[in-house]
């Protein structure tokens, strides 16, 4: 698939077919992730893959507790009928199933520095910026393979708890869970906020 086609086709998918992604495809996707640009030339990234049901169950056990406080906050801030509210209405009930029912769950870990969780300036966040470049490469290469991804950001202690369960070293952080698989045929289409470059470009001065 051509790059622009993958960029335009990529969509967060939260319903998957019950079909396994072959190991060689998974490897190609992780290798694409590893081509991402990196702060300090380091590529300090590791990937824990959850494939067996029991491994997934262990790794995903903290999600339900994490979504409860999230739902309370969302109820207060979301405006009914907006595209954002409609997206959350699709997304929130699926936070667990969109990972549990994916062929594989990818846990992309990055090595943290002392400034990451206590930043003094934007560049303190470079390790996080770098892993998000990896994550986007994973999304695009999955799309190019005819696959799709779901993604959840762990909240509160969720990421730390997952890291502990899968045995990650203490200085490695989890920015998100990624579900990888074949998209279901009947997954709901989420209305998007769409913009064009013409609307967003400011030549010379904002």
Q: Which residues bind ligand FMN (CB under 6 A)?
A: 11-12, 87, 91, 151-153, 192
Taking the complex as a whole, the smallest distance from the CB of residue 199 to ligand FMN amounts, in Å, to 17
54 vs 185 by CB, closer to ligand FMN: 185
- The set of residues, in sequence order, having a beta carbon less than 8 Å from that of 102 and lying 6+ positions away, is 16, 150, 179, 180, 181
Taking the complex as a whole, the smallest distance from the CB of residue 90 to ligand FMN amounts, in Å, to 8
Taking the complex as a whole, the smallest distance from the CB of residue 203 to ligand FMN amounts, in Å, to 27
Say which DSSP state 102 is in.
Answer: S
54 vs 76 by CB, closer to ligand FMN: 76
CA distance 8 to 5: 5
Taking the complex as a whole, the smallest distance from the CB of residue 63 to ligand FMN amounts, in Å, to 10
55 vs 136 by CB, closer to ligand FMN: 136
12 vs 126 by CB, closer to ligand FMN: 12
Please classify residue 166 by burial: count the beta carbons closer than 10 Å to its beta carbon, then call 0-12 exposed, 13-18 middle and 19+ buried: middle
Measured CA to CA in angstroms, residue 63 lies from 59, 98, 99, 128, 133 at distances of 9, 11, 10, 21, 24
């Amino acid at each position: 698939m051509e790059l622009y086609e993958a960029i335009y086709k990529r969509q967060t998918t939260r319903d998957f077919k019950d079909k396994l992604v072959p190991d060689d495809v998974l490897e190609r996707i992780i290798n694409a992730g590893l081509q991402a640009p990196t702060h300090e030339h380091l590529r300090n990234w590791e990937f824990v893959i959850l494939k067996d049901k029991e491994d997934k169950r262990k790794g995903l056990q903290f999600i339900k507790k994490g979504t409860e406080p999230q739902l309370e906050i969302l109820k207060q801030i979301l405006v009914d009928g907006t595209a954002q509210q409609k997206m959350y209405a699709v997304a929130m009930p699926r936070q667990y199933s969109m990972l549990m029912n994916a062929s594989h769950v990818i846990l992309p870990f990055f090595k943290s520095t002392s400034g990451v969780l206590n930043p003094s300036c934007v560049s303190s966040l470079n390790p996080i910026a770098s892993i998000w470049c990896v994550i986007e490469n994973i999304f695009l290469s999955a799309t190019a393979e005819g696959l799709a991804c779901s993604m959840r950001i762990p909240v509160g202690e969720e990421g730390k708890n997952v890291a502990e369960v899968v045995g990650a070293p203490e200085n490695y952080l989890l920015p998100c869970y990624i579900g990888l698989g074949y998209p279901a045929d009947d997954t709901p289409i989420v209305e998007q906020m769409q913009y064009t470059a013409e609307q967003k470009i400011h030549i010379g001065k904002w």
